[in-house]
Amino acid sequence: MVTIKDVAREAGVSVASVSRALNGHRGVTPETVERIREIATRLRYVPHVAARSLITRRTHTIGALLPDLHGEFFSELIRGLDQAARARGLHLLVSSSHDSIEEAATALRAMQGRVDGLVILSPRVDAPFLRANLPETTPAVLLNSAVRSPAYDVLNVDNYGGAYAMMRHLLREVGHAHVAFVSGPAANFDARERERGYRAAMTHYAPGVACDVVPGEFTEESGYAAATTLLGRPDRPRAVFAANDMMAVGCLYAFKEAGLRVPEDIALAGFDDIPIARYLTPPLTTVRVRIADLGRSALERLAERLDATDGSPNVADTLGCEVVVRGTCGAELTNASPA
Amino acid sequence: MVTIKDVAREAGVSVASVSRALNGHRGVTPETVERIREIATRLRYVPHVAARSLITRRTHTIGALLPDLHGEFFSELIRGLDQAARARGLHLLVSSSHDSIEEAATALRAMQGRVDGLVILSPRVDAPFLRANLPETTPAVLLNSAVRSPAYDVLNVDNYGGAYAMMRHLLREVGHAHVAFVSGPAANFDARERERGYRAAMTHYAPGVACDVVPGEFTEESGYAAATTLLGRPDRPRAVFAANDMMAVGCLYAFKEAGLRVPEDIALAGFDDIPIARYLTPPLTTVRVRIADLGRSALERLAERLDATDGSPNVADTLGCEVVVRGTCGAELTNASPA
DNA sequence: TTCGCGCGCGAAAACGTTTACGTTCGCCGC
DNA sequence: GCGGCGAACGTAAACGTTTTCGCGCGCGAA
């Protein structure tokens, strides 16, 4: 293995000069820099990462702590994180699929000293947990978290706004008089925000109409079950808004089984825009979230915090999302008919 | 920050004893071990990773070099890698979305010294590339690679076997007399293997019938285009096998547009079992690959190699896949009709 | 001429571990 | 009683960097 000493010897200078030259510090003439550079590349010198971070106390690595999430969401998030990290010369250490909070704690502890900062996405993580498991010197940005603390940056998808916008679309633009809502698990922050958006939009765009919330669990099966209860009522709703796409899929299957036409007999909308959404028949109207952007922003926020030596104030911010109109909401039907 | 010295001082022993005690080496009495352990946890001592790997020359981290792949494949692979890594106390450094080979090279170089070993999945990586960019001391296992070299472990999905099995199903069990094949990009190793499986099965199960291969690019659009050319022929095929699911999706849309019923008028099969597959109408018959298992195996292979000081011989191995019969191949039609 | 100052550079300390090598001591066999 | 030996433990070197400090020197200003 070739070390900095070999380069120094070959160049006839001290190791200090080599270090300075290669790191672009001042105190070495341009000619010497050039010579050292040339020799370093010729010898294929690569600085020893551990030795360097032993003294600089920087790893140039950021950790991603993720729950057991699947499919597109996961890969899009990593894609965003990875791209932004590479652009800044940082590395990405991932640790995913933590079902339990204990697992997350050990994972967090194991990352200790390996990372300069953390991106944390976990529905169960709260402030006390972080205080207990995260050394306060390590900066962290929390994704989709209910935590509001000056100690951490928080970056959320605008679940409230997205749900509100979808409801606006259904009630005002498509013209449904009433919309039922299939909610997500109560413990989930995203789910709560989406329901809040539903309720707010109902009171605004359908004043006097009572909210109609059926519980779900973010799974296809729970969506199917929720749809079944809705259809079992004497007055079945003419439009259903599911708090995520998987439940919307469950609803769609239940509706088809019941012989209902979507969207003519019953309209449907989801949330997330998973890739499946556009391949359903009919394609699912839903709310798109730019996951990769979320990851990118998170990493950039973190990188800034690492560069800034002083503590600029931590902030909570949200990332917008947009309504994608496809086949299930009945928008074409309304547009086709004369206004 | 609390170091090993603090623990030593508190326990009234030397740093050497602390190191030995905490690492489970012999040469220290059980009572002392216990005392040191207790003090270490009380002081929340965490060994400094960089200092340790500076001298042990181990990072306990493995790197994953991945191309720009999307969706389920990516996340499933990482899931498998991550689980196996965690089980062995290893960490996972990912670097993904490398379109060009140059990008992959810099990524590989940047991982130098940060990882003990590598899992590499990249259609473009070949032996010369690895020799040039990978220090030969770093073990690597290659995923879905055409490389056959004693220097590297190779772990492949059994694309040949999967394609062969699907063709056997279509020709023999469903009873199609002929099947057309939409191939993938020629540069892609997976694609070539799948085509090889198609051809072999044709000569075996449909001797005398000529192979019928239409080029595709693994994209939905190319699948749509391929289907259009097939339908434009005077004698359109009664069954089509697409080299991956996305192209099958494209075919399905083309068939529907042409007013054909699937599978009554034309049968269809894909390869990969992406999540979309089961939500298509009708659900897509395809070949399932256990991606997470692939990741798990890769990491375990690598971990073994790291533990084994001597060079056990490197091997090339394949991971099986299975035919999943759904709606598009026409199997129920045949089964419903009297044999 | 002289003083000071900045620049280029080298020597060496420091970072926190692991581990090779001593040293002490108790014990066992003769 | 004595030599030898192994167990328990300490000392210090080593890993490869970065960075502080100091030194010499050239140059501009007084």
Q: List the CATH number of the domain containing A207.
A: 3.40.50.2300
Written as one string, the DSSP assignment of A209-251 is SPP-EE---SSHHHHHHHHHHHHHSSS--SEEEESSHHHHHHH
Is residue B20's pLDDT more than 80? yes
Q: What does the pLDDT average to over B6-12? A: 95
pLDDT of residue B72: 80
Strand D positions within 7 A of protein Cβ atoms: 7-12, 14-20
Interior CA angle at B72 toward B193 and A101, to 5°?
A: 140
Q: What does the pLDDT average to over A87-101? A: 93
- Compute the mean pLDDT over every residue in chain B, rounded to the nearest whole number: 93
| Local confidence band at B201 (pLDDT 50, 70, 90 cut-offs) | very high
- Among all residues of chain B, which has the CA nearest to that of A47? B113
pLDDT of residue A118: 97
Is B47 inside any structural domain? no
Distance from CA of A290 to the nearest CA of B (A): 14
Do B103 and B138 fall within a single domain? Answer: yes
Is residue B174's pLDDT more than 50? yes
Q: Token pair of B155, please?
A: 């772990």
Do A119 and A187 fall within a single domain? Answer: no
pLDDT of residue B339: 33
Residues contacting strand C at CB < 7 A?
A: A 12-17, 26-29, 32, 51, 54-55; B 1, 3-5, 15-16, 19-20, 22-23, 25, 45-48, 51-52, 54-56
How many Cβ atoms are within 10 Å of A10's Cβ, its own excluded? 18
Identify the CA nearest to A123 among candidates A101, A153, A140, A108: A101
Is residue B333's pLDDT more than 80? no
pLDDT of residue B309: 64
Q: What does the pLDDT average to over B265-290? A: 94
Do A248 and A281 fall within a single domain? Answer: yes
**What ranges make up the beta strands (E) of B216-315?**
239-242, 267-269, 286-289
| Local confidence band at A311 (pLDDT 50, 70, 90 cut-offs) | low
pLDDT of residue B336: 44
**Cα–Cα distance, A287 to A229 (Å, whole number):** 24
Is A48 inside any structural domain? no
| Local confidence band at B99 (pLDDT 50, 70, 90 cut-offs) | confident
Amino acid at A276: I
Domain total for chain A? Answer: 3
Q: Are B315 and B156 in contact (CB under 8 A)?
A: no
Cβ–Cβ gap B74/A78 under 8 Å: yes
pLDDT of residue A308: 79
Do B172 and B267 fall within a single domain? Answer: yes
Is residue B335's pLDDT more than 60? no
Do A286 and A304 fall within a single domain? Answer: no
Identify the CA nearest to A91 among candidates A115, A113, A72, A74: A115
Q: Is A182 exposed, middle or buried (0-12, 13-18, 19+ CB in 10 A)?
A: buried
Q: Are B8 and B15 in contact (CB under 8 A)?
A: yes
Do A204 and A194 fall within a single domain? Answer: yes
Do A138 and A244 fall within a single domain? Answer: no
Is residue B53's pLDDT more than 60? yes
Interior CA angle at A122 toward A117 and A124, to 5°?
A: 125
The pTM score is 0.89
Domain that holds residue A87: 58-157+291-318
Do strands B117-121 and B140-143 pair parallel, antiparallel, or not at all (unpaired)?
parallel
Residue B182: alpha-carbon gap to chain centroid: 22
Is A228 inside any structural domain? yes
Sheet holding B213-214, edge to edge: B213-214, B180-182, B239-242, B267-269
Do A151 and A283 fall within a single domain? Answer: no
Do A151 and A180 fall within a single domain? Answer: no
Is B280 inside any structural domain? yes
pLDDT of residue A99: 83
State what percent of residues in chain A have pLDDT above 90: 83
**Cα–Cα distance, B48 to B32 (Å, whole number):** 22
Is A50 inside any structural domain? no
pLDDT digits (tens, 9 = 90+) for B224-242: 999 999 999 999 999 999 9
pLDDT of residue A309: 64
Q: Token pair of B50, please?
A: 């960089």
pLDDT of residue A339: 33
pLDDT of residue B311: 63
Is residue A193's pLDDT more than 60? yes
How many Cβ atoms are within 10 Å of A335's Cβ, its own excluded? 12
**Cα–Cα distance, A47 to A41 (Å, whole number):** 11
Do A168 and A86 fall within a single domain? Answer: no
Instruction: Name all contacts of B207-210 with Cβ < 8 Å and 24+ positions apart.
Output: B209/B177, B209/B178
Interior CA angle at B28 toward B24 and B30, to 5°?
A: 80
State what percent of residues in chain B have pLDDT above 70: 97
pLDDT of residue B307: 87
Q: Between B54, B86, B280, which is nearest A54 by CB? A: B54
**Cα–Cα distance, B307 to B67 (Å, whole number):** 28
Do B270 and B297 fall within a single domain? Answer: no
pLDDT digits (tens, 9 = 90+) for A225-265: 999 999 999 999 999 999 999 999 999 999 999 999 999 99
Q: What does the pLDDT average to over B23-51? A: 95
pLDDT of residue B338: 36
Gyration radius (Cα) of chain B, Å = 26
Does any CB of chain A come closer than 8 Å to the CB of residue B43?
A: no
Do B311 and B330 fall within a single domain? Answer: no
